[in-house]
Structure 1
Amino acid sequence: MRQIIIITILMVLAIGCKNQDSKESIEIIPSEELIQITKEQFNNDKMEIGKPEIHRFTDKISCTGYVSAKPDGYAEISTPIKGIIKSIHFSSGDFVKKGQVLCQLVSNDFINLQTDFANKVIETNMLKSNYLRQKELMNENIGAKKEFEISQSKYLTSKIYLESLQLKLELLGFNTSRIKNGKLYTYFPVVAPISGFIENNKITIGKYTENQELLAKIVNPDKLQIKLNLFEKDINSIKKGQSVTIISPGKNESIAIIKSIGNTIDSKSKSIICLADVIKGNLNYGSYVDAEIKTNEKDALALPISAIFKSGTDSYIFIIDKEIENNIFLKRKFIDVGIESNEYIEILDAQNLSNVITRGIYNITPL
């Protein structure tokens, strides 16, 4: 019995030693150049494997700008005559169409202009009749030449003045045939010269306005442009027709096209003004914006930015070197990178790269 117990104890000790030797034989001792992670960590961190692929990159110049209107998209409202505002047909922020009446004035100057024109029509007709009569008498050798010349001079002088009054009224938009018949206009209408939204309204009922006094502004939202401020070092890269992405707070990106390039440096801002026409987007007149000008495009091998580990000024990627059971061994590799665009980064030494961890590297602890 004693022998059986001793034999059993020896067998247990032998088995224990054998198991210990077995464990030591499969222990993984990674190389000093490799980083070890588990497959569970790979899955939990949602890592992905990839390789550099062709991606289109765009060189960009960043700058700031100001939303203004094209020359034909902006108008200042004023009146060519003095008068008192009698009625108003709009408010600030309203959209008005070209030719729409904005307000009406009562004006003694306007009434006097119509009266002068109507009286001049009568006077000129009388002088014309006298001129024709004197001409007929002179042709029949009855009238004196001097009388004819006087009548001719008075008629032509009156006719010229009448035509100037008629031209003034027509430029103001009035039907002179009606005034000739003695039907005078009571009010002087101020009309919108362009379509757009009313800005900076200064019109109130009863207000007395002087000639050319600013009453309001109109901005056409379909005719906006961007005044871009560019530094001298960037100006040689700018060309007409280049695309500009406009970034405005609280709004989607807008698109503009370079229209003109300035050649004078502002002494205060040390910048050069370039103009870009807005072709797509919703911008507010007078707002300040950020802009990116696309200057060049090229195709190059690239990786997602999420694949890059930064250490100071150096860039690294992680490449799967080997897999042993439940462990994955990664090699950290230094790479040269170029420009960035749309979450991708150019890889300058991308030949023969594969099995790159492209996502989920944030929990990897490099050596």
Structure 2
Amino acid sequence: MKRISLYILFIVFTFSCGKKENTDEKQEKTIENSVKLSDEQIKTIGLTTTLLQQKAIDKTIRLNGKVTVSPSHLVSVSSIIGGRVKSISVLPGNHFKKGQLLAVLEDEQFVQLQQDYLIAKAKLESARLDYERQKGLNSNKASSDKTFQLAEAEYKTIAVTKKALEEKLKLIYINPETLTAENISSSVAIKAPFNGVVSKIIVNTGQYVNASEILMELINTDGLLLSLKAFESNITGLYVGQKILAYTNQNPDKKLKAKIISVVPNIENDGSADIVARFSASYPEVISGLYINANVTLKNFNTGSLPEKSIVSFENNNYVFEKTNDNVFVLTPVKIGNSSNGFTEIIDSEKLIDKKIVEKGAYDLLMALKNQVQE
């Protein structure tokens, strides 16, 4: 170490002398961000060079895109029977829980439907008793087959009517099991069918809506998806089930867990492919249309790499020294990725293809260059 340090001082000294005395070509000189060494100095430092290599490294890539909603999780709320909007209990953007009141509709048709159901329910019990009685009489030949068949048909017809009315009540959010003559109401409460967020409200209080007319749109947050873009060169490293960490531009430090559910097998004209991911948990800050980024680690991904010792850092930037003709070493900025087994990924590796890059001695060159700048 002492010999190297003394030699670095020697290099710096010769740089200074070169400026003052204009000595011969064996003395080093700097040309902007480059250093020139003699063969003897290269030998003393033990400087070696290497070439860009393809290595299997755990490479982290960044994808970007936006939050979308699965079509199956974007729900339009309506009523099978028209009515007047009595009240609305939510606003666009509001989060809600399953079973929470969203709106109330009122109309005399609701009363009629409940009445028809309760009458059918009462008739069914009477028809059932008559059917059972006629069945017993017929088995003993105390009544004709025709009388028994009429009782059976009446019972089954009313059963169908009751069942149909029961299903209609469910569609307007009325529980037939708890409905009695005492709690018939002219209004119905529309409640949330799941946990989610209000996307859009289309009607207003006092407005009359027709049957099946949409009142509002809801988003089931379980259906929020990440629609991301990946470049063709990275597609082979992406797969269904792969975990990713997403983040917003507003809060990049908070990572949102997600998992890839689809890699669309189609390359667009711009060389990208669509990647679809689903969030692993519910995040209140995530809304449809939000622009988002995601980091994905590609395991054992072949990528342009250099030995770790080739890379030097200065003022929060990373560099390598490229050897050109006449023993000139040029400080070249690079963007680095992950490191593995002594090698570091060079993200912008294209510019270093077939270039001689300093491996051993890169740090010595950087110290010489820094000291020269200080001079």
TM range (shorter): 0.5 to 0.7
Q: Structure 1 residues 134 and 223 mapped into 2: Cα distance closer, same or farther (>3 Å)?
A: closer
Query: 2:321: which partner in 1?
Result: 316
Query: 2:259: which partner in 1?
Result: 257
Q: Does structure 1 conserve the Cα–Cα contact (< 8 Å) formed by 2:65 and 2:226?
A: yes
**What SS is found at the alignment partner of 1:147?**
helix
**One-letter identity of the residue aligned with 1:261:** V
**One-letter identity of the residue aligned with 1:165:** L
**How far 1:103 sits from its partner (Å)?**
0.6
Query: 2:276: which partner in 1?
Result: 275
Q: Does structure 2 conserve the Cα–Cα contact (< 8 Å) formed by 1:195 and 1:220?
A: yes
Q: Structure 1 residues 334 and 232 mapped into 2: Cα distance closer, same or farther (>3 Å)?
A: closer
**How far 1:221 sits from its partner (Å)?**
5.4
Query: 2:28: which partner in 1?
Result: 34
Superposed, 1:137-156 pairs within 5 Å as 137-156=137-156
Q: Structure 1 residues 172 and 140 mapped into 2: Cα distance closer, same or farther (>3 Å)?
A: same
Q: Does structure 2 conserve the Cα–Cα contact (< 8 Å) formed by 1:195 and 1:218?
A: no
Cα deviation 1:133-158 (Å, max 9, x = unaligned)? 32333234332221111111111221
Q: Structure 1 residues 352 and 87 mapped into 2: Cα distance closer, same or farther (>3 Å)?
A: same
Counterpart of 2:291 (choices 285, 288, 310) is: 288
Q: Structure 1 residues 198 and 309 mapped into 2: Cα distance closer, same or farther (>3 Å)?
A: closer
Q: Does structure 2 conserve the Cα–Cα contact (< 8 Å) formed by 1:67 and 1:227?
A: yes
Query: 1:129: which partner in 2?
Result: 129
Rg comparison, structure with higher value: 1
CA distance in 1, matches of 2:312, 2:224: 37
**What SS is found at the alignment partner of 1:93?**
coil
Cα deviation 1:229-257 (Å, max 9, x = unaligned)? 34555433322344545464333154443
Query: 1:84: which partner in 2?
Result: 84
Query: 1:109: which partner in 2?
Result: 109
- 1:333 maps onto 2:329 in alignment: yes
Query: 2:360: which partner in 1?
Result: 351
Query: 2:11: which partner in 1?
Result: none
Query: 1:4: which partner in 2?
Result: none
CA distance in 1, matches of 2:108, 2:271: 52
CA distance in 2, matches of 1:152, 1:140: 17
**How far 1:191 sits from its partner (Å)?**
0.9
CA distance in 2, matches of 1:249, 1:357: 35
CA distance in 1, matches of 2:106, 2:162: 24
Q: Does structure 1 conserve the Cα–Cα contact (< 8 Å) formed by 2:59 and 2:345?
A: no
CA distance in 2, matches of 1:86, 1:192: 17
**One-letter identity of the residue aligned with 1:295:** L
Query: 2:162: which partner in 1?
Result: 162
Q: Does structure 2 conserve the Cα–Cα contact (< 8 Å) formed by 1:62 and 1:292?
A: yes
Query: 2:38: which partner in 1?
Result: none
Identity, % of aligned positions: 21
CA distance in 2, matches of 1:297, 1:28: 54
Q: Does structure 1 conserve the Cα–Cα contact (< 8 Å) formed by 2:108 and 2:186?
A: no
CA distance in 2, matches of 1:283, 1:153: 57
Q: Structure 1 residues 94 and 133 mapped into 2: Cα distance closer, same or farther (>3 Å)?
A: same
Cα deviation 1:77-136 (Å, max 9, x = unaligned)? 333332211011122222211110111001343322212111112222332233233233
TM-score with structure 2 setting the length: 0.65
Q: Does structure 2 conserve the Cα–Cα contact (< 8 Å) formed by 1:247 and 1:290?
A: yes
Superposed, 1:175-324 pairs within 5 Å as 175-181=175-181, 183-219=183-219, 224-232=224-232, 234-244=234-244, 246=246, 248-252=248-252, 254-255=255-256, 256-264=258-266, 271-279=272-280, 282-296=285-299, 300-301=307-308, 303-306=311-314, 316=321
Q: Does structure 2 conserve the Cα–Cα contact (< 8 Å) formed by 1:306 and 1:358?
A: no
Q: Does structure 2 conserve the Cα–Cα contact (< 8 Å) formed by 1:91 and 1:201?
A: yes
**What SS is found at the alignment partner of 2:85?**
strand
Query: 1:321: which partner in 2?
Result: none
Q: Does structure 2 conserve the Cα–Cα contact (< 8 Å) formed by 1:257 and 1:279?
A: yes
Query: 2:100: which partner in 1?
Result: 100
CA root-mean-square deviation = 4.4
**One-letter identity of the residue aligned with 1:355:** D
CA distance in 2, matches of 1:363, 1:205: 78
Q: Does structure 1 conserve the Cα–Cα contact (< 8 Å) formed by 2:61 and 2:297?
A: yes
Q: Does structure 2 conserve the Cα–Cα contact (< 8 Å) formed by 1:317 and 1:333?
A: yes
